[in-house]
Amino acid sequence: MILAIFGLFLLCLGMILTFVLPSHFLVQDLRSRGVSAAATVVGVDSKPKYVKVRLVSSPQAGTEVKLSDYAGMLPETQTGASMIVTYDPEEPSRILTQSYVKDPPPNLPAYGTAAFAAFFLLGTVALVFRRRWILRNWPSDDSVAGSAKAHGSKSVRLTKR
């Protein structure tokens, strides 16, 4: 039971790293070597699962790329809208809106998963302390055997598991 709950904590910890690290590294890379450019939105999915932009004012002008999502989020926009983007000149597919690069929005999936991770870690700690308390306060075999003989019954042996 304790190992299962600790395993859930580790699973949540892995999910947090999956949500945080890629977007963090993308933002850091774009801050250090990214190029800002004007872009026009040429396609938006209804969900949105993607936002496709065409770079307008850059050496890569005319290139159409899908915006990278930040923590599963894309900017709310519509086809034909203009925006300022920051992209990696070596790999134009690594692109975010300039506002996401300057001030990234909260990473809500990571925050939610962190709450679950904290819950499972506290549950693990509580179960470990409860288990230790039970093992320390478990009656010894002598005291149980003595009380059983006093009541005229056969001796009972308790085992610790």
Q: What's the residue count for the chain?
A: 161
pLDDT given at position 138: 82
Distances (CA, A) of 73 to 17, 43, 68, 70: 17, 16, 9, 5
Measured distance CA(108)–CA(146) in Å, rounded: 60
Q: How many CA atoms lie within 13 A of 102 on its CB side?
A: 7
20 within 8 A of 57, measured Cβ to Cβ: no
At 51, the pLDDT band (50, 70, 90 cuts) reads confident
Residue 145 has pLDDT above 60, yes or no: no
pLDDT band at 78 (very low <50, low <70, confident <90, very high): confident
* Token pair recorded at residue 36: 């800002």
pLDDT of amino acid 9: 94
**pLDDT, tens digit, 9 for 90 and up, residues 84-140:** 999 988 888 888 889 888 988 888 888 899 999 999 999 999 999 999 998 888 876
Q: How many Å apart are CA 161 and CA 70, to the nearest integer?
A: 49
This prediction has a pTM of: 0.66
Fill in the amino acid letter for 63: T
How are beta strands 35-44 and 64-66 bridged, if at all?
Answer: unpaired
